[in-house]
Amino acid sequence: MDTLIRKKAPHFSAKAVVNGGDIIDNFSLDQFIGKKSVVFFFYPLDFTFVCPTEILAFQEKLEEFKKRNVEVVACSIDSEFSHWAWLNTDKKNGGIKGVTFPIVADLTKSIAYNYGVLAGDYDYDENGQLIFSGTPVAFRGLFLIDKKGDVRHCVINDLQLGRSVTEALRMVDALHHFEEYGEVCPADWHEGEKALMATAEGVADYLSKK
């Protein structure tokens, strides 16, 4: 599979639910170009098990993303009406009430396909009938998109494996540090720690002080 790293994030315009309950048409990440970085993540389905733990974890850290001028956007292959219903269901009943970041509806599965996270593919059987091979939902893909609209980081988990919101924040910090200072970020780097210049001397200096 071709990587999207250093490429423009695939364009889309789709229905979405924003602010926890407002359904809008023609939602696009293009609105953030030149203004904000974006963490765009896919999850398999509404009203499931691992998915609400991730979505609520992003909501819990939403202010941390906002402080970094980062927009968080989610997407699944459910309809905007399913998103709306889930967003208006209490947590004690399996819902995600209180989540305010946008959730995009990808009923056609074209967004998941273009981002390379569709957990299967369309094909034809021996009778020439269109079939789907695999699971017709999105893998747990996460894409960090910079202000220019370029993908700078991605991670794709299988359906059973939840992601780390803390790691997503760390990657945001690493990208912003590089953009501001031109320094690259070593293994397990966190904001406030020493980074290094991408030279032999820079690496030697960093390692000698560990």
Output the 3-class SS for 6-33.
Answer: CCECCCCCEEEEECCCEEEEEECHHHHC
Q: Do 208 and 148 share a structural domain? A: no
For residue 65, how far is the Cα from the chain centroid?
12
Report yes or no: 158 and 140 within 8 Å, Cβ to Cβ: yes
Please tell me whether the overall predicted TM-score, pTM, comes out greater than 0.85 for this model: yes
Full domain range(s) for residue 190: 164-210
Residue 73 has pLDDT above 90, yes or no: yes
pLDDT given for residue 201 in this prediction: 75
Residue 7 lies in a domain: no
Q: 200: which 2 tokens?
A: 């032999």
Give me the CATH number covering residue 110: 3.40.30.10
Please state, rounded to an integer, the average pLDDT across all residues of the chain.
Answer: 95
Q: Do 191 and 132 share a structural domain? A: no
pLDDT given for residue 1 in this prediction: 58
Question: Nearest to residue 67, comparing CAs of 199, 209, 173?
Answer: 173
pLDDT in tens, 173-194: 999 999 999 999 999 999 999 8
Q: What percent of the chain has pLDDT over 90?
A: 89
Residue 204 has pLDDT above 70, yes or no: no
In the structure, what pLDDT confidence band is assigned to residue 197 with cuts at 50, 70 and 90? confident
Q: What is the mean pLDDT of residues 5-34?
A: 98
- Total of domains in the chain: 2
Per DSSP bridges, beta strands 130-138 and 118-124 are antiparallel
Active-site residue list: 51
CA distance 16 to 26: 8
Q: Do 114 and 60 share a structural domain? A: yes
Residue 5 lies in a domain: no
Residue 76 has pLDDT above 80, yes or no: yes
Report yes or no: 104 and 16 within 8 Å, Cβ to Cβ: yes
Q: Do 146 and 46 share a structural domain? A: yes
pLDDT given for residue 12 in this prediction: 98
Longest dimension (CA), the chain: 66
CA distance 59 to 86: 14
CA 176 vs CA 37, 44, 67, 86, 129: distances in Å: 9, 29, 12, 33, 48
Question: Between 104 and 201, where is the model more confident?
Answer: 104
